[in-house]
Every structure is written in structure tokens, then in C-alpha cells.
């Protein structure tokens, strides 16, 4: 099939491997920032260069929803298209995002960010139904091998000690009402490589993978990453769960999120279940209610032990026009107030039915 699905999270073929991270032998040349005295790049300056100059874009075809009670022509136009209350449920004074009923509205929506220099992003809201059916057809084609891996998995009870303690502390009181959003790192949020070359990178740092500070790591951020993280970190308890080596991932996450504003917890390879040379992410290890936990990963097999909790996302390598995080943001916005995420995820992606028939 050559058509592009209009569903909100479009997967692309992914290799069957254990999510080891630092996989590709892409190369890079320095761009933008100069290294500091310690030899590392100034992450903040680099991140600003990734975001680009602060500016607002308007397109005559797009509908922009102004929050905080302001009225303008665009809003009036939107009111003509749909009753506003179906689009802005709960969007109060000072709110920065919309509660969009995706089953009621099929048009484009621009989320208005807070005044912190983040560019507004266009969100295309797609209803369920036909779009989901088309998406699920893609999932079957693209992830057939990974689905086979999931079918071959033994039961969770046979893999882990049921008496083990959760790896995460209890959530803070301010987070206790939030769902937990578990994010993969490599090819979901960033693409990293270690061999220098002529590929453009956004970050570079050195890490001790073999001998102290011997490896230069080049990183490309997925488009709209910071915008995405700014929003989900206000909606969810965000956990990054990566099968990559801790030495690399922890350093990268510290550069991306030095104040731990985005990621409340970091979980690395040693916490994965290793089986058949592959790494699997067991969500029960986190100690959170599975009805309120969702994992986003570019390789569905890694959440094969809890397929009802997974959102597959297309792998990111170098597409500067990638908008998957914006599409994902729209879906998460719909999901964040549901009592149990699993029925919604199964309706959207149908992974269990595709895997087990």
C-alpha cells in the first residue's frame, strides 16, 4: 500500500532488535555551538539553535484557538465550524492547551503555548473509525516480525519475581492523580550515533562507553521534541525507559533536561527483561497502576509484555519534517483523563487483536 494513512500516529518499518540505542553508524559535523572548556557542547545554546528564532506563523487555512477568553476572527470562524465547547472542554483562564474531542472534530487545531519561547505547533485531529482501520492495517504490515516476537514471549509470571519491589518511588502528591507516560528514548525522542561523518546533528557530547570519555556521541532531536515535552510534563508523570546503556542515556537526558523538569524518572537497560538477545520493558516494574500507564516506543515488541498499554510510533532518524510528536500529543490529550487507558489504546491501535488474533 502506498497511501499515507490519515491516522494520528503513523508507524514505519522498524528493525527487529532490542532497542540497544546508539545503533546507526551515522556521522556528523559540528554545527552551531562551540564546545565548552570541558569539551561538551553548551546544551542550552544548542537547544535554542534547534528551536530556531522565536516567531509565530499563521496560515490562512489553519484555525488557531486562542485560550484565556480572547475573541478574534479566527475563533469566530471556529465557532462556525463546531460548537466551541466540544473543542475546549475545561480550557480555563490561562490554559495553554485544549481538550479536543477527536471523535467530534476533524479539522486542524493549533495549540497555543505559554510565553516561554516555544513555537506553536499544528495539530491535526483525526477521528477514530476509518482512520483507525487504516492505521491498524499499517501496523500489521510494518510490525509483523515484531508481533511474532511478542507471540513467542513466555508469560510475565515466568520471567519476573512477583515479590520484587517497584523500581520507582511512590509518586509525589502533586503527581498522584496523573497518568504515567513512559517514553522510549532512541528513535522515539532522538536519534544518536557515534561515528563522525557529514550528517547534521543537534548535540554532541563525550561519554565513557569503553574507556573514560573516549566516545563522541552525536544526537539529532526529533522535531517538536521540546514542545512535546513541555506539554506532557504538565499532564503526566513522565518516565523515560530506555534499553540503551545508562552511561550514554543518563548523560544525554541530563543535557536535555538538566533540572528534571520533563522526566521525573529515568530507567535504563539494566531494568529491562533480557530474553533471546532482546530487551523488553516490563511496566509492572515501575509500580504504577497499569490502567493509568502508557508506554510510547518505536519498537512495539519491547512492550510486548503489556501490549494493552503501548503506543507504537514511527522511528525517527533524520526527517526534519517529522510531526509524529505533535500527532501523539493530540492523542495523549484525549487520553489523559480516561480512567483506564487500555480500552482506548486497543480501540485506536488494536494491537492485541493483531498479535493474538
> Which residues are known catalytic residues?
184, 186
Q: Cell 523515560, residue?
A: 240
> Which window, 11-19, 36-44, 46-54, 138-146, contacts Mg ion (CB under 5 A)?
11-19
324 interacts with Mg ion by CB under 5 A: no
- The string of DSSP letters for 25-36 reads ---EE--SPPB-
Closest contact distance (angstroms) between CB of 118 and Mg ion is 24
Give the 3-state secondary structure of residue 221: strand
Closest CB to Mg ion among 118 and 325? 325
Torsion angle in degrees (nearest 10) through CA of 207, 208, 210, 215: 30
301 interacts with Mg ion by CB under 5 A: no
293 interacts with Mg ion by CB under 5 A: no
Residue 168 CA: distances (Å) to CA of 18, 175, 238, 241? 23, 13, 12, 12
CA 206 to CA 98: how far, in whole Å? 40
Backbone dihedral region for residue 30 (phi beyond 0: left; psi -120 to 50: alpha; all else: beta): beta
Closest contact distance (angstroms) between CB of 169 and Mg ion is 25
300 interacts with Mg ion by CB under 5 A: no
> Which window, 125-133, 226-234, 260-268, 293-301, contacts Mg ion (CB under 5 A)?
293-301
By rule CB under 5 A, what string of x and - marks binding of each residue 160-189 to Mg ion?
------------------------x-xxx-
Closest contact distance (angstroms) between CB of 245 and Mg ion is 13
Number of residues located near Mg ion, criterion CB under 5 A: 6
Closest CB to Mg ion among 40 and 187? 187
Closest contact distance (angstroms) between CB of 269 and Mg ion is 12
134 interacts with Mg ion by CB under 5 A: no
Helix, strand, coil: what percent of the chain each, to 5? 35, 15, 50
Closest CB to Mg ion among 179 and 298? 298
Classify residue 356 as exposed, middle or buried by CB count within 10 Å of its CB (0-12, 13-18, 19+): exposed
Strand (E) or helix (H) holding 279: strand 278-280
146 interacts with Mg ion by CB under 5 A: no
Closest CB to Mg ion among 88 and 313? 313
> And the C-alpha cell for 124?
491535526
Identified binder of Mg ion from the candidate list 112, 146, 180, 298, rule CB under 5 A: 298
Give the 3-state secondary structure of residue 253: helix
Closest contact distance (angstroms) between CB of 268 and Mg ion is 13
Under the rule (CB under 5 A), what is the footprint of Mg ion? 19, 184, 186-188, 298
Amino acid at each position: 500500500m502506498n497511501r499515507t494513512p490519515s491516522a494520528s500516529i503513523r508507524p514505519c518499518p522498524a528493525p527487529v532488535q532490542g532497542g540497544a540505542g546508539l545503533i546507526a553508524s551515522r556521522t556528523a559535523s559540528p554545527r552551531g555551538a562551540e564546545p565548552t572548556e570541558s569539551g561538551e557542547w553548551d546544551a542550552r545554546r544548542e537547544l535554542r539553535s534547534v528551536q530556531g528564532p522565536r516567531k509565530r506563523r499563521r496560515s490562512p487555512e489553519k484555525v488557531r484557538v486562542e485560550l484565556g477568553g480572547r475573541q478574534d476572527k479566527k475563533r469566530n470562524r471556529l465557532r462556525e465550524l463546531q460548537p466551541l465547547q466540544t473543542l475546549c472542554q475545561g480550557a480555563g483562564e490561562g490554559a495553554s492547551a485544549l481538550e479536543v474531542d477527536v471523535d467530534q472534530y476533524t479539522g486542524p487545531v493549533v495549540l497555543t503555548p505559554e510565553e516561554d519561547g516555544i513555537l506553536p505547533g499544528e495539530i491535526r485531529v483525526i477521528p477514530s473509525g476509518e482512520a483507525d482501520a487504516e492505521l491498524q492495517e499499517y501496523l500489521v504490515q510494518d510490525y509483523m516480525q515484531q508481533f511474532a516476537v511478542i507471540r513467542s514471549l513466555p508469560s510475565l509470571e515466568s520471567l519476573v519475581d512477583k515479590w520484587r519491589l517497584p523500581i520507582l518511588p511512590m509518586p509525589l502528591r502533586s503527581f498522584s492523580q496523573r497518568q504515567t507516560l513512559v517514553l522510549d528514548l532512541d528513535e522515539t525522542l532522538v536519534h544518536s550515533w557515534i561515528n563522525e561523518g557529514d550528517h547534521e546533528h543537534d548535540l554532541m557530547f563525550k561519554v565513557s562507553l569503553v574507556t573514560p570519555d573516549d566516545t563522541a556521541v552525536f544526537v539529532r532531536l526529533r522535531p517538536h521534541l521540546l514542545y512535546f515535552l513541555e506539554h506532557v510534563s504538565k499532564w503526566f508523570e513522565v518516565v523515560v525507559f530506555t534499553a540503551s546503556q545508562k552511561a550514554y542515556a543518563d548523560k544525554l537526558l541530563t543535557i536535555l533536561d538538566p533540572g528534571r523538569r520533563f522526566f521525573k524518572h529515568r530507567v535504563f537497560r539494566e531494568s529491562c527483561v533480557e530474553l533471546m538477545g532482546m530487551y523488553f520493558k516490563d511496566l509492572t516494574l515501575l509500580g504504577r497502576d497499569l490502567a493509568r500507564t502508557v508506554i510510547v516506543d518505536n519498537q512495539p515488541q519491547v512492550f510486548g509484555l503489556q501490549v494493552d498499554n503501548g503506543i507504537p510510533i514511527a522511528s525517527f532518524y533524520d526527517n526534519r519534517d517529522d510531526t509524529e510528536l505533535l500527532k501523539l500529543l493530540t492523542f495523549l490529550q484525549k487520553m489523559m483523563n480516561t480512567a483506564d487507558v487500555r480500552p482506548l489504546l486497543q480501540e485506536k491501535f488494536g494491537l492485541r487483536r493483531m498479535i493474538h488474533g
